[in-house]
Structure 1
Amino acid sequence: MKHKLNQPLSLFKRFLAIAAPFWVSRQKWRALGLLATLLTLLCGVTVLNVYNSFVMGRLMDALQKEDGYLFYKLVGLYSLVVLAGTPVMVYYGYLRTKLALVWRSWLTAHLTSRYLSRLAYYRLAGDSEIDNPDERITQDVDTFCNMTVGLSISICDALFTICSFTGVLISISIPLTAAVVIYALLGSLISIWIGKKLVPLNFQHTKLEADLRYSVADVRRDFESIAFYRGEKRVRMQILRNLVASIKNLEMIMIVNRNMGFFTTGYNALVALIPLAIAAPIFFHHHMEFGALTRAGIAFGNIFAGMSLLVSQFGAISAFGANITRLGSFLEALDHHSVPSSASNHGADIITIVPSEALATEAVTVLTPDSARTLVQDLSFVLEAGSSLLIMGPSGAGKSSVLRALAGIWSFGSGTVYRPDRRDMMFLPQRPHVPVSTLRAALCYPRTLTCATDSHLLALLKLVNLSDLPVRYGGLDVEQNWRDVLSLGEQQRLSFARLLLNRPKFAVLDEATSALDDANEMRLYEQLRATGTTLISVGHRRSLLNYHDRLLTIVGDGSWSLSDAKGLTDLREPLGSKDPHDWPGRDRGSNGK
């Protein structure tokens, strides 16, 4: 029960956390200007509506008295007011959309910056509670901004309308005023009782729809793997499973909306009768003119519409609550994952990064995120400038985790990593990030498009055996989805071209040549060694020993060893296929120490 009572407060706190930063940002004056103009126009619309109610009342009196001259005069006046109000109404709607668009632009950029800062995106990838961050940053933000502006203006409109027409209705009939207040409040309470399940159902609906879209998009992303596996049946089953879950959730929403419809249909239909039923006896006794009866009906209807906003917009408000929950939980996750690790919040040890000219580790222990397994224990080494280190071991032993610790994106464990500034280091993953862009932008990534001259870029492509790319795809400035048109081996060679372009002091390669043949691998490593770059590689191929001075063996039980890579190149099988404890040249001391 306490949770239910706290739920509205929790939603309000999350709403403020999402909305408040925009109104103190650099866009605040523009936004406040739009809001002030909107409220001014809203007041104008309300004044016109009140004035029209008086004109309509007088028009009905003229009709009752058969005063043709006054009747047509009032028809003309009413028409002029409507014509004058048309541009006000149109511009009012335009500014509502404009304010939501400005807000969406800012909030999307703000969340994108938060998502991509301090490796929050990397840590969120392992958070099972935050599904589909892309959906939250794009569609959920769009929904939030449009609904916040729409509902806020609707509430202001309702307040202006209630305040304006209450005076009109009180001057005509106090019992009518009391009736509309009681009727609207009663309707709101019943609506809350009937529709209380809509907020969690709408939250689940958004998640299930996102899961369905993701499963369909997965086919386009992994089409080749699915084709090789002939996995169409399994993929279809997954898509249909997500579809069935989404449909079932929608059916539950439909049931609640159906029950709400049973109530609201009759509730709204009675509105036209209530003012007539209460005011008719007064009219029949000639204590009220026909025009006053008309004004009473108009005032009653407007006050009822304002006070019944919760009833008329209950579905939208419920969806808005689910939207706030999704965006609010996303913001909270960003706050949580923007710190080095969850361990740091509890005073536990983490792997610390210390700036240094050299690359070294001191008593570094690497753990799994749940601390259930020790991948490497007390790892210590110093990598001299211009030297090279190859890290090998069985799959799952922790080789890539060691690289992540060196990169500063894996802090689960303890010890100290001494490393140069990130600007002096470059990391090449097994599957490079190749954005949808021009070939020039793909080569320069992550630098700007002015990173090098055309001749320099073409020379780099030749060095990595990709000189045909500009010819095949129309030059350096034609945009392509390179992940789709290039093989993994070509993407890895493109990644090496970036490395040669940047010429960092230190390069860290995580199986960056796994998709290459021996000839291309040798060509790339020879080009890299010629630059004098200090090198760390992870791999399984024994051919990699030719390009490195030292070998770090990660066993998988926490132990490790350092040895000379020379003299191991005559092995007749990949080192990764042998028992690490039997590798030649291995220092058999405890934990390699």
Structure 2
Amino acid sequence: MMMGAFWASPVRNTLIAFGSLIFILIAAIAYGQLALNRWNVPFYDALSRRDVNAFLHQLLIFVGITGTLLVLNVTQTWLNQMFKLKLREGLARDVIGQWMMPGRAFRLSGAGEIGVNPDQRLHEDARHLAETTADLGIGLLQATIVLASFIGVLWALSSGFVFHVAGYNFTIPGYMVWAAIIYAASASWLTWIVGRKLVTINADRYAREADLRFSLMRVNEHIDAIALARGEADEKRRLDLDLDAVLISIRRIAYALTNLTWVIAGYGWFTIVAPILVAAPVYFSGGLTFGGLMMAVGAFTQVHTSLRWFVDNFGAIADWRATLLRVASFRQAVVRMDEMGALGRRIVTEENEDNRLTIDDLEIASTEGGMKLREAHVEVKPGEKVLIIGSPGTDKTLLFRALAGLWPWGAGRIGLPKGEEVVYMPRIPYFPPTSLREALAYPLDASRFSEDELKAALKRGGLDRLASSLGRVARWDRVLSEDEQQCLAFARLSLINPRWVVVDEALDGMEEDALDRVLDILRNYLQEAAIINIGRRLPHDHVFSRVLYLDKDEAGEKLELPGEG
């Protein structure tokens, strides 16, 4: 699935281009390392002969080789960073794009654990996955190229190794190659045995970190209510529980990494002498010069380092795999949200052939039981003002979501007016953290409206005091009171002037003055609009002339939404 997403990504070609350049650079660096390895023979032989002129000449060669390698290393570092940047861009844009498909984010929020804290997966997990994928992928490529380059050198050096045992002489083809493979394989096997628990421990740690982050955000969002209730101590207790879960996960990782270090560090220290011990029998029997010994040691070290890439990076691989599973499961769950509406019966939402909104045999399934409209067939014509009242125990918001196409679970048909856009007004209005001008026009472009039109809309909502603040950027959900937010939302509605509006309990609980202003907007500035208000009877209501009823359906089945499992 993730490979398919990569192949469809707009940054695919850029990533392939960067990857190809990195491959060429790594190959060039490997060639330079081969030259540096060959340089060991004349350099150390010059030392052993105490030949000063040859020594100085080899130093000049060393400067040329290492200078070229330095330029190549710096260039590769820049390409590595650009590869990470583009990989992060492609991954983040893909996951956010899938999440922001119409209706998916909402359905995901009610789909169990997978829908909790999506910000963690969209931001931190995506960032970490992009960076670790680049680091591990480039590291593995480099290790493979170096292995392919030096294994031939080590094999050729091993061909001259002659062993003398009890009067017998024998050779082992590729002796040092097999020694490096056995040495690295034993280290890899022990590393896997000791460190395999890190995959699940890391995944659990990320989940607990996300829980703590969400709890902190929740407390910050409701800090006024918490302070008024003197609930700081209770919230601290809850935060401490989440923090304890994070610390327990980190402690488990610490113990696992400590055990893993016994293997990694132990092999790392022994590797200092391992290649010399392997080549020592041939050196002491006279089969190698000192320069040849150092060349063999260098080649063995390069081959062994490439082969033990798995050992050195096991902790990072476990971390990468845990992050990959979190991002992949999240992306899969997001895509599956389109299929979830097919679970059991489904409410059909489609466009009518004429300019009417119709509801036929509507039944809404929920986790608490079913609901249905008392009227089997409902027809709302242009300009009609309809009030829908729910009986006690009904979740009227589910009806609102069903009309908006966000809640597909149930049965029946909802027919939307042909060629007309329906504006949906939730209980709590949303304002982006932007200028008042853009918040008032949202989701339309504010440049479509003149300054006078924006100020007139504010005046209709009783917010003319804000007329001079159209350019001010603020968190309007915190600057304005709840009634002022509703007044701003209906002022925005009068500015957009839609033909069809569905309101979800937004008028319930408003103070009388604010309610009168909103009803005045509905009555005088949206005269031609058809309005469906889901809520309760209102005082001084001369807007809604028709009443429908939403009842509990005792025979309805309870809905069970799938979670992450």
For the criterion TM > 0.5, the same-fold answer is: yes
Aligned 8 A contact 1:375 1:558 in 2: no
Q: CA deviation at 1:41?
A: 0.8
Matched residue, 1:59: 43
Distance between the aligned counterparts of 1:470 and 1:222, measured in 2?
29
Aligned in 2, Cα 1:546/1:366: closer, same or farther, shift over 3 Å?
same
Partner of 1:186: 186
Amino acid across the alignment from 1:488 = E
| Distance apart, 1:353 and its partner CA | 1.2
Check the 8 A contact 1:510/1:537 in 2, yes or no: yes
Moved more, 77-86 or 537-546: 537-546
User: Which stretch of the first structure deviates more once superposed, 293-302 or 446-455?
Assistant: 446-455
Letter in 1 for 2:423: M
Alignment-derived partner of residue 416 in structure 1: 413
**Distance in 2 of aligned mates of 1:20 and 1:194:** 33
8 Å CA contact 1:488, 1:515 repeated in 2: no
Q: Check whether the contact 1:371–1:412 (CA below 8 A) recurs between aligned residues.
A: no
- Counterpart CA distance in 1 for 2:15 and 2:409 is 43
Q: Give the counterpart of 2:156 among 165, 171, 180.
A: 171
How many residues align? The count is 535
Report matched runs for 1:511-530 at 5 Å: 511-514=505-508, 516-530=510-524
> Is the counterpart of residue 478 in structure 1 residue 472 in structure 2?
yes
1:402 corresponds to which letter in structure 2?
A: L
Q: 1:464 to 1:228 in 2, by over 3 A?
A: same
Matched with 1:293 is 293
Question: Contact between 1:378 and 1:415, CA under 8 Å: does it hold in 2?
Answer: no
Distance 2:328 2:200 in 1: 14
CA deviations 1:422-467 (Å, max 9, x no partner) are 8521111111111111112111111123231122111111111111
What is the Cα deviation at residue 557 of structure 1? Answer: 4.7
**In 1, are the aligned partners of 2:499 and 2:530 still within 8 Å (CA)?**
yes
Alignment of 1:81-480 (within 5 A): 81-130=65-114, 131-173=116-158, 174-339=174-339, 341-342=340-341, 344-345=342-343, 348-356=344-352, 357-368=355-366, 370=367, 372-374=369-371, 376=373, 379-394=376-391, 396-420=393-417, 423-471=420-468, 475-480=469-474
**Offset of 1:251 from its aligned partner?**
0.9
Partner of 2:533: 537
Which residue among 481, 487, 498 is the counterpart of 1:493?
487
Describe the shift of the 1:487–1:226 C-alpha distance in structure 2 as closer, same or farther (beyond 3 A).
same
Q: RMSD between aligned alpha carbons?
A: 1.9
Does residue 29 of structure 2 align to residue 45 of structure 1?
yes
Query: The residue matched to 2:272 in structure 1 has which SS?
Result: helix
**CA deviation digits over 1:14-47, x for unaligned, max 9?**
xxx2244233433222222111111111111111
Q: Kindly tell me: are residues 317 and 290 of structure 1, through their superposed partners in 2, closer, same or farther at Cα, counting changes over 3 Å?
A: same
Matched-pair contact (CA < 8 Å) for 2:487–2:517: no
Post-superposition Cα deviations, 1:362-388, rounded to whole Å, max 9, x if no partner, equal: 1111111x4843455664211222121
| Farther off after superposition, 530-539 or 151-160 | 530-539
Alpha carbons 2:19, 2:83 under 8 Å: kept = yes
Q: Which amino acid is 2:129 matched to?
A: F
TM-score (norm 2): 0.91
Q: Which range moves more in the overlay, 206-215 or 417-426? A: 417-426
Work out the CA distance in 2 between the residues paired with 1:380 and 1:287: 98
Q: 2: distance between equivalents of 1:85 and 1:396?
A: 74
SS of the residue 2:113 aligns to: coil
Cα pair distance change 1:32/1:190, threshold 3 Å: same
CA distance in structure 2 between the partners assigned to 1:135 and 1:74 by the alignment: 55
Deviations 1:69-117 (A, max 9, x none): 1111111211222122212111201111111211211221221121111
The offset of 1:482, in angstroms, is: 1.6
Q: CA 1:218–1:398 in structure 2 vs 1: closer, same or farther (change >3 Å)? A: closer
The alignment partner of 1:40 has SS state of helix
Cα distance per residue 1:231-256 (max 9 Å; x no partner):
11221111110111111111111111
Identity of matched residues, %: 27
Q: SS of the residue aligned with 1:435?
A: coil
What amino acid maps onto 1:252 in structure 2?
R
Whole-angstrom CA distance in 2 between matches of 1:367 and 1:153? 51
Q: Runs of 5+ in structure 2 lacking a partner?
A: 159-173, 556-565
Task: Quote the offset at 1:158 in angstroms.
Answer: 0.7
Counterpart of 1:550 in structure 2 is 546
* Matched residue SS, 1:365: strand
Shifted more, 550-559 versus 215-224: the winner is 550-559
Specify the code of the residue in structure 1 equivalent to 2:97.
S
Q: CA deviation at 1:146?
A: 1.3
Partner SS for 2:271: helix
Q: What is the CA–CA distance in structure 1 between the aligned matches of 2:505 and 2:369, rounded to whole Å? A: 26
State the shift of 1:180 in Å: 0.6
Q: 1:336 to 1:371 in 2, by over 3 A?
A: farther
Q: Does the CA-based 8 Å contact 1:365-1:379 persist in structure 2?
A: no
Residues 423 and 497 of structure 1: is their aligned pair in 2 closer, same or farther, counting only changes over 3 Å?
farther
Counterparts of 2:551 and 2:9, CA distance in 1: 52
Q: 1:545 to 1:476 in 2, by over 3 A?
A: closer
Distance 1:46 1:486 in 2: 64
- Cα offset for 1:515? 5.1
Query: Aligned partner of 2:124: which letter?
Result: Q
TM-score with structure 1 setting the length: 0.87
CA contact (8 A) 1:120 1:334 kept: yes
Question: Which has the higher mean CA deviation after the structures are superposed, 410-419 or 373-382?
Answer: 373-382
> Matched residue of 1:542: which SS?
coil
Amino acid across the alignment from 2:141: C
